[in-house]
Homo-oligomer: A and B are copies of this chain.
Amino acid sequence: MSERERPIRVALDAMGGDAGVTAVVEGAAKLSLEERPVQVFLVGDETMIGEVLARHRYDPAWIHVVHAPDWVRGDEKPAEALERRPEASIHVAAELVKQGEADALVSAGSTGCTILAAGQRFERLSGIRRCALASVYPTEQRHGARGDPFALMLDVGATLNASAEDLVGFAVMGSAYARIISDNDSPRVALLSNGTEPTKGTPAIVQAHRILSGMPGLNFAGNVEGLDIPRGTVDVIVTEGFLGNVVLKMLEGVSEVVVDLAKDAYARKFLYRMGLTMLSQGIRQLRTMTDWKQYGGAPLLGFDKVVIKAHGRSNARAIRNAVKVAAKAVDRDLAGQIQAGMVGADGA
- Which residues of A does B touch, CB under 8 Å? 139-140, 158, 160-161, 192-195, 201-202, 225-231, 241-243, 245-254, 256-258, 260-262, 265-266, 268-269, 271-272, 274-276, 278-279, 281-283, 285-286, 289-290
Copies of this polypeptide in the complex? 2
10 CB-based A-B contacts, threshold 8 Å:
A193-B246, A226-B247, A226-B248, A226-B249, A230-B256, A251-B254, A262-B286, A265-B286, A274-B278, A275-B278
Contact, CB under 8 Å: A249 / B227: yes
In whole angstroms, how far apart are the Cα atoms of A202 and B243 in the complex?
Answer: 11
Residue among B227, B228, B278 making CB contact with A271, cutoff 8 Å:
B278
Q: Tell me which residues across on chain B come within 8 A of A254, comparing CB atoms.
A: 230, 251, 254, 258
Q: Tell me which residues across on chain B come within 8 A of A161, comparing CB atoms.
A: 202
Q: Tell me which residues across on chain B come within 8 A of A289, comparing CB atoms.
A: 261
Q: Tell me which residues across on chain B come within 8 A of A243, comparing CB atoms.
A: 242-243, 246
In whole angstroms, how far apart are the Cα atoms of A160 and B243 in the complex?
Answer: 13
A226-B247, A227-B249, A258-B258 are known contacts. Are A242 and B274 too (CB-CB below 8 A)? no
Q: Tell me which residues across on chain B come within 8 A of A272, comparing CB atoms.
A: 278-279, 281-282
Contact, CB under 8 Å: B286 / A279: no
In whole angstroms, how far apart are the Cα atoms of A248 and B230 in the complex?
Answer: 12
| Of A261, A289, A290, most B-chain CB atoms within 10 Å | A261
A194-B158, A247-B246 are known contacts. Are A252 and B227 too (CB-CB below 8 A)? yes
Q: Tell me which residues across on chain B come within 8 A of A269, comparing CB atoms.
A: 281
Q: Tell me which residues across on chain B come within 8 A of A227, comparing CB atoms.
A: 249-250, 252-253
A252-B226, A253-B228, A257-B231 are known contacts. Are A245 and B278 too (CB-CB below 8 A)? no
Contact, CB under 8 Å: A286 / B274: no
Residue among B193, B253, B282 making CB contact with A226, cutoff 8 Å:
B253
The 7 closest A-B pairs by CB, nearest first: A226-B249, A226-B250, A227-B253, A275-B278, A275-B275, A265-B282, A226-B246
In whole angstroms, how far apart are the Cα atoms of A166 and B47 in the complex?
Answer: 56
Residue among B201, B265, B286 making CB contact with A242, cutoff 8 Å:
B201
A158-B194, A201-B242, A285-B265 are known contacts. Are A250 and B229 too (CB-CB below 8 A)? yes
In whole angstroms, how far apart are the Cα atoms of A260 and B258 in the complex?
Answer: 13
A266-B282, A282-B272, A282-B275 are known contacts. Are A140 and B230 too (CB-CB below 8 A)? no
Q: How many Å from the CB of A321 to the closest CB on chain B?
A: 22
